[in-house]
């Protein structure tokens, strides 16, 4: 590689320890060199920041701080950071030696991966992110350039923590920061520069999309144009770009790339578990695609092969296998203190992670799910790394049917990672059918309504030809109508049959009275006869019920018929003295009307009229002289 011949760092012993052998790649922020750690006699990769960055004290301090944080991460799927420092203005980072190619180069050679291969790669990537997030470390620049693939199928994620140091530098412009990473930036990173574990989840979702389809979801004329697409558009389903992609992988990409961070899986660990569930459910067990042999780069000084990428602001390097160490530096006695220091750092990191996990890391908070559909609740719980189960539905006066009405634990309560949240969907307001209480007494109707949690609001009366008085004719609303519980119902209670008026037939001849009562629908009852001084014989004295009385239709009406007045014998008082005659007439119940027809006579009755049988009270004329 002729480009290394004029590089001032080649053949230099950096920091008195790292023998620089060749420059493998040069990016916008750093150059990567193949080197040998002469103390530990091992091949390493050394990333040296460009001088413009090294001259910024704030960047150097930040770089050192982030590098130390990255060094605490120890995971088989993450490129280890061994050391960091500066030498004569050169700020550098010493990393694990990895033989192979970047995932970007694999994509260039393959175009896209099969669903099984994509899942196999992401299995390692998300395992590394899960370990980093558990240790409180955020990558901030997840992309294919920062993923290394070895010939034997190992995958390693590089450059943990460095994006924060670089993007915080005042010497970089927006374009330089976004160049090469805009395709993977989470919306919140574009909007306000904020990044957390969910931002890495978003970038991982975009990378999964690219592995499945061969291209990032968005294209644009400038990095900023691409970045703003992440803020305004939802990442499309991979199956819309390529065939043969299962719906489960579409859903996984959709969840990971939700524009709202709170709707994504909480961290790499949650997304990793979901990926494993999809993999096992679909049987997507494939090997990691090995890089093509012609992707390696020859390193003349070392006589070995390696791979590097020069695109993007974050240059990721895969280094060739190290040759046997030799020379005077290689024969120096080994020193044990770096190993002891590394062990101390590792133990401290393990203790810190364990303490965090026991105190808070194994817990999360139940999200608010009330009012969501079942699908929305499932997606939100997926994003939080929680499981769910649906219990029988419940009635709710405030939450519409088919939405979540009850959740246990409640929103905001602390729950363990991966815990199960019980959900109950709403059946809407509780409604019950009005029971049929027709024909029942009011007391019986009240009991039947109370049994279904309804009440009697009021009562009203009505006539009924079929329901006995005091019994329920119907309810308002009618039976079968569904009402909310505790609603009042009106009882319509029978007053019996509507009464009719008895015709007044008093004084009518019996035959005419009978005809009129029969036409009115009444039944003729027994006929009785009595003397009556005012009603002539054969006419109606009275009826029972009486005339104009209100009675049930078809009621029986009895008739009292007159036999005329009762007659009595008028006493014969002819020849009696007038005084005695008057007394005799009056004692018989008649009235006496004496008339003297000749004065100076003996005072005896000579004629009386009328005579025979007469009604009492009749006036009897008595003629005397």
Residues labelled catalytic = 141
222 Cβ partners below 8 Å, 6+ apart? 175
Q: Are 86 and 17 in contact (CB under 8 A)?
A: no
Question: What is the spatial distance between Cα 111 and Cα 144, in angstroms, rounded to a whole number?
Answer: 13
Question: What is the spatial distance between Cα 223 and Cα 254, in angstroms, rounded to a whole number?
Answer: 22
CA distances to 396, 402, 422 from 426, in Å: 6, 5, 13
Q: What DSSP state is assigned to residue 78?
A: B
Instruction: Count CB-CB contacts under 10 A for residue 268.
Output: 28
Residue listed under structure tokens 């890391």:
361
Q: Where are the alpha helices (DSSP H) in 193-283?
A: 197-213, 223-232, 247-256, 268-282
Question: What is the spatial distance between Cα 326 and Cα 316, in angstroms, rounded to a whole number?
Answer: 28
Greatest distance between any 2 Cα atoms in the chain: 200
328 Cβ partners below 8 Å, 6+ apart? none
Q: Which of 446, 512, 428, 439 is nearest to 470 (CA)?
A: 439
Residue listed under structure tokens 């890089």:
291
Enumerate long-range contacts of 228-231, CB under 8 Å, 24 or more apart: 228/190, 230/185, 230/186, 230/187, 230/190, 230/259, 231/187, 231/190, 231/191, 231/259
CA distances to 62, 142, 238, 501 from 65, in Å: 5, 20, 38, 108
* N-to-C CA span, the chain: 186
Q: Which of 43, 97, 82 is nearest to 326 (CA)?
A: 43
Question: What is the spatial distance between Cα 208 and Cα 382, in angstroms, rounded to a whole number?
Answer: 18
- Burial environment of residue 522 by CB neighbours within 10 A (0 to 12, 13 to 18, 19 or more): buried
Question: What is the spatial distance between Cα 604 and Cα 586, in angstroms, rounded to a whole number?
Answer: 17
Give 494-541 as a DSSP string: E--SPPEEPP--TTSBHHHHHHHHHHTTPEEEEEEEE--SSS-TTBEE
| 3-state DSSP of 560-616 | EEECCCCEEECCCCCCCEHHHHHHHHHHCCCEEEEEECCCCCCCEEEEEECCCEEEC
Q: Are 214 and 111 in contact (CB under 8 A)?
A: yes
- Burial environment of residue 367 by CB neighbours within 10 A (0 to 12, 13 to 18, 19 or more): buried
State the DSSP H helix or E strand holding residue 339, giving kind and residue range, or none if neither: helix 337-356
Instruction: Count CB-CB contacts under 10 A for residue 213.
Output: 22
Instruction: Count CB-CB contacts under 10 A for residue 291.
Output: 23
Q: Are 286 and 151 in contact (CB under 8 A)?
A: no
């Amino acid at each position: 590689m002729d480009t290394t011949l004029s590089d001032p760092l080649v053949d230099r012993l950096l920091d008195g320890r790292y023998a620089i052998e060749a420059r493998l790649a040069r990016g916008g922020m750093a150059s990567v060199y193949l080197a040998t750690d002469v103390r530990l006699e091992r091949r390493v990769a050394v990333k040296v920041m460009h001088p413009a960055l090294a001259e910024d004290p704030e960047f150097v301090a930040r770089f050192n701080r982030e590098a130390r944080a990255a060094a605490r991460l120890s995971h088989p799927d993450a490129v280890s950071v061994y050391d960091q420092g500066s030498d004569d203005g050169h700020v550098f980072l010493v990393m694990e030696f990895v033989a192979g190619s970047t995932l970007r180069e694999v994509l260039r050679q393959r175009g896209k991966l099969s669903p099984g291969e994509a899942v196999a790669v992401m299995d390692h990537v998300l395992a590394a992110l899960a370990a980093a997030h558990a240790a409180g470390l955020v990558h901030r620049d997840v992309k294919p350039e920062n993923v290394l693939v070895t010939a034997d199928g190992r995958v390693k994620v590089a450059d943990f923590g460095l994006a924060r140091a670089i993007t915080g530098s005042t010497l970089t412009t927006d374009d330089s920061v976004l160049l090469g990473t805009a395709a993977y930036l989470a919306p919140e990173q574009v909007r306000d520069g904020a990044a957390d574990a969910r931002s890495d989840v978003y970038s991982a979702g975009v990378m999964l999309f690219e592995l499945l389809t061969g291209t990032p979801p968005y294209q644009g004329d400038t990095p900023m144009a691409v970045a703003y697409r992440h803020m305004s558009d939802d990442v499309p389903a991979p199956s819309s770009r390529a065939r043969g992609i299962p719906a489960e992988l579409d859903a996984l990409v959709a969840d990971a790339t939700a524009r709202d961070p709170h709707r994504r899986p909480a961290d790499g660990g949650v997304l990793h578990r979901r990926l494993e569930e999809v993999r096992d459910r679909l049987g997507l067990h494939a090997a990691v695609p090995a890089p093509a042999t012609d992707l390696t780069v020859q390193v003349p000084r070392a006589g070995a092969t390696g791979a590097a990428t020069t695109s993007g602001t974050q240059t990721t390097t895969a280094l060739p296998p190290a040759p046997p160490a030799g020379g005077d530096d290689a024969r120096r006695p080994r020193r044990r203190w770096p190993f002891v220091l590394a062990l101390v750092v590792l133990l401290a990191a393990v203790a810190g992670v364990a303490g965090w996990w026991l105190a808070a890391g194994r817990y999360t908070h139940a999200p608010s799910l009330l009012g969501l559909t079942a699908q929305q609740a499932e997606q939100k719980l997926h994003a939080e790394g929680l499981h769910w189960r649906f219990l029988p539905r419940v009635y709710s006066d405030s939450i519409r049917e088919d939405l979540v009405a009850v959740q246990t634990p409640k929103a905001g309560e602390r729950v363990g990672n991966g815990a199960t949240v019980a959900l109950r969907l709403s059946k809407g307001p509780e409604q019950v059918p009005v029971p049929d209480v027709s024909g029942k007494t009011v007391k019986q109707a009240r009991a039947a309504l109370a049994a279904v949690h309804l009440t009697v609001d009021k009562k009203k009366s009505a006539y009924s030809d079929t329901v006995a008085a005091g019994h329920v004719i119907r309810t308002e609303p009618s039976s079968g109508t569904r009402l909310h519980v505790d609603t009042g119902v009106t009882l319509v209670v029978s007053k019996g049959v509507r009464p009719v008026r008895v015709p007044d037939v008093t004084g009518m001849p019996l035959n005419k009275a009978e005809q009129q009562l029969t036409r009115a629908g009444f039944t003729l009852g027994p006929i009785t006869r009595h003397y009556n001084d005012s009603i002539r014989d054969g006419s109606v004295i009275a009826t029972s019920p009486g005339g104009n009385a209100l009675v049930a239709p078809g009621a029986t009406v009895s008739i009292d018929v007159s036999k005329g007045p009762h007659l009595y014998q008028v006493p014969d008082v002819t020849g009696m003295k007038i005084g005695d005659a008057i007394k005799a007439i009056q004692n018989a119940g008649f009235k006496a009307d004496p008339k003297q027809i000749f004065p100076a006579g003996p005072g005896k009755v000579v004629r009386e009229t009328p005579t025979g049988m007469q009604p009492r009270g009749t006036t009897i004329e008595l003629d005397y002289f």
